[in-house]
Structure 1
Amino acid sequence: MASDEFRLVAPSIDKAGRLPRQYTGEGQGAKKNISPPLEWYNLPEGTKTLALVVQDLDASDPDGPIVPWTHWVVVNIPASVPGWRGPVLPHHGHRFEFKLYALDDELHLGNKVTKEKLLDAIEGHVLGEAVLMAVF
């Protein structure tokens, strides 16, 4: 990996790619649903804002096949956002994709942001993408 590559990392994820329990709905007490610490490096030139999408790539649909389940879509993150609501899974072994987008502009999407709404809005504004995978 080039040292100047746009990167997303989570220091709390172990070398096997496992997401610790406290970052999910299965944590205990105050150590539950904590936002995993994320760090990004080498933002592309011209980046004005970032957007983050977190998906469970192995979620099962009771009426169909396994489909990605979007847990988190974050744009223009304000300081008042308390954190990430972690996943509660029927079984372990799910892969989570954290995808960070470097954008050339701020987004104005209103209060109800979906992954689809975000992806439409960022078309033509993505300067770079960084992906991090974790398993829980």
Structure 2
Amino acid sequence: VSPELVIRGVPADAKSLALIVDDPDAPDPAAPRMIWTHWVLYNLPPDTTTIPEGARPGHGLPASVREGRNDWGEPGYRGPCPPIGRHRYFFRVYALDTMLSDLSLPTRAKLLQAIKGHVLDQAELVGLYEKQR
């Protein structure tokens, strides 16, 4: 279940927001080899102030919001479950000067390419998680 996120300070001229949640410490924080994507969202309305816990398009988010593909190969949020060590989870919100066309379940990389040159501002929140053994 995705956590609640509060968004503030969006530029007045923003046309949409995008969100990427990822873990740069995969698979092992002592020897990271990849960035693991947990959630990709785009075309959030610029007046969004809260992404509710457990949100998805049509359920806590407007139906116009689009999801991308996480690294499990599916749309939607998947929570932390690191195989080893304490991992950092970055929640990055991007204020964009445009609404994006339908990108057909974009990956993190495809969304980052699509927003290039359109980012007015961005913010991030970092959470930490380690499985109890």
Report the TM-score when normalising by structure 2. Answer: 0.66
Mapped partners of 2:5, 2:43: distance in 1 = 15
Of 58, 74, 82, the residue aligned with 1:79 is 58
Q: What letter matches 1:118 in structure 2?
A: L
Read off the aligned partner of 2:5 and give its amino acid letter: L
User: Pick from 11, 20, 41: which aligns with 2:8?
Assistant: 41
The number of residue pairs the alignment matches comes to: 101
Q: Which runs of 4+ in 1 moved over 4 A?
A: 80-83
* TM-score calculated relative to the size of structure 1: 0.65
**Cα separation, 1, equivalents of 2:24 and 2:108:** 14
1:100 to 88, 93, 98: 93
**Percent identical residues:** 46
Change in Cα spacing, 1:81 to 1:66, as seen in structure 2 (3 Å) is farther
Structure 1 or 2: larger strand share? 2
1:38, distance to aligned residue in structure 2 (A): 0.3
Shift in CA distance, 108/121, structure 1 to aligned 2, threshold 3 Å: same
| Distance (whole Å) between structure 1 residues aligned to residue 9 and residue 37 of structure 2 | 26
Is the radius of gyration larger for structure 1 or structure 2? 1
Alpha-carbon deviation of 1:111?
Answer: 2.2
SS at match of 1:68: strand
Task: Return the offset for 1:57.
Answer: 1.4
**Alpha-carbon distance, 1:109 to partner:** 3.4
Matches within 5 A, 1:46-61: 46-60=13-27
- Cα RMSD after superposing both structures: 2.3
**Distance in 1 between residues matched to 2:94 and 2:79, nearest whole Å:** 21
Unaligned runs of 5+ in 2: 45-56, 62-75
Q: How does 1:1-136 map to 2 (within 5 A)?
A: 34-60=1-27, 65-77=32-44, 78-80=57-59, 84-136=77-129
